[in-house]
Amino acid sequence: MVKIPLIHSASYELELHDTHKVMGQKSTALYNAISAMHWSKKFETVTCSGVSPKDLTLAHDVKYIDRFVNNHLSRSEMKLINLPWSARLLKRSLLTPAGTFEAAKLALTTGVACHTAGGSHHAYRNFGYGFCVFNDLAYAALRLRKEKLARRVLILDCDVHQGDGTIDICKNNPDIFTCSIHGGQYIGPERMVGSLDVALPDGTDDAQYLSKLKDALNFTSNNFLPDIVIYDAGVDVHLNDKLGRLNITSDGIIARDQLILAFFQKRNIPVATVIGGGYSVDRSELINRHMLVFETVAQLY
């Protein structure tokens, strides 16, 4: 039986105060929790090295890359990113795009692959925003195309926030379809116009969410036939998420992931998953939410 690639690095961790909205040690806790599950035997761990700053010019402005790498961004630019600069942050920011690209590349052969990080969808071509430095989703899509591994890429973003940076980077590329299904009310940068944007009202429940998702999948597949899907399975849609404003239960997240994965599996379209956003002060609660997509993948493939 072909194993499902599980892309992970021990260097994803950041040292952040417990009061920070981002949980600094999330990926390894997630990886360890997955490894303890009986279904983890379906996965095979894959590690990869980080991209080079030059590689990143596919998705980002060379000056922005250089200035971040050398810690020359201004205080206000770092404030937008909302993470303190550190050698660890730099390392992680170069590893994550490599990991998402690797997941996508391997999914083309195995049908599915999962990344224990990724979903930096607020990183724009010229600046970072909202905990995102470099955009792994846009980078992976552009590199798949550059290496002629795939021609048409669907970036399906179910994080509760709009994938605005991804849209900024991919907007002039008709072979990359950006579909973002997000809460309509949160405060953030100006909304961008992607290939398909679905803004949900505060308090949207499971049934409403799944119905909108079905419509979005049908619209997308009627208008765009991808060679691969990069799926941001953000769990900040959860009703107990610290930043989200929707009313989605854990069962709703499972149903969402099942719907999406089965939709593309039926059509023989490979899917690479990234974890996206999720915010809670309770570590195990958050890890359990992020683990849902891995368990659903293990059940379906």
Candidate list 8, 115, 121, 122, residue with the active-site label = 122
The interface with Zn ion within residues 253-282 (CB under 5 A) comprises: 277
Does 241 bind Zn ion (CB under 5 A)? Our answer is no
Choose between 55 and 197: whose C-beta lies nearer to Zn ion.
197
Shortest Cβ 159–Zn ion spacing (Å)? 4
Residue found by looking up tokens 């379209």 in the block: 269
Interface with Zn ion (CB under 5 A), residue from 92, 143, 145, 161: 161
182 is catalytic: no
Does 136 bind Zn ion (CB under 5 A)? Our answer is no
Does 164 bind Zn ion (CB under 5 A)? Our answer is no
The binding track of 13-52 with respect to Zn ion, each residue x by CB under 5 A or -, is ----------------------------------------
∠ CA 251-257-259, nearest 5°, is: 100
Retrieve residue 150's tokens.
């795939």
Does 163 bind Zn ion (CB under 5 A)? Our answer is no
Applying CB under 5 A, the span of 14-22, 65-73, 137-145, 158-166 interacting with Zn ion comes to: 158-166
Distance CA 234, CA 14 (A): 19
Distance CA 67, CA 75 (A): 12
Distance CA 185, CA 160 (A): 10
Does 236 bind Zn ion (CB under 5 A)? Our answer is yes
Choose between 132 and 196: whose C-beta lies nearer to Zn ion.
132
Cα distances from 120 to residues 124, 127, 241, 276, in angstroms, run 10, 12, 18, 7
Does 289 bind Zn ion (CB under 5 A)? Our answer is no
Applying CB under 5 A, the site for Zn ion has a residue count of: 4
Helix/strand/coil (H, E, C) string of 179-242? EEEEECCCCCCCCCCCCEEEEECCCCCHHHHHHHHHHHHHHHHHHCCCCEEEEECCCCCECCCC
Q: Which residues bind Zn ion (CB under 5 A)?
A: 159, 161, 236, 277
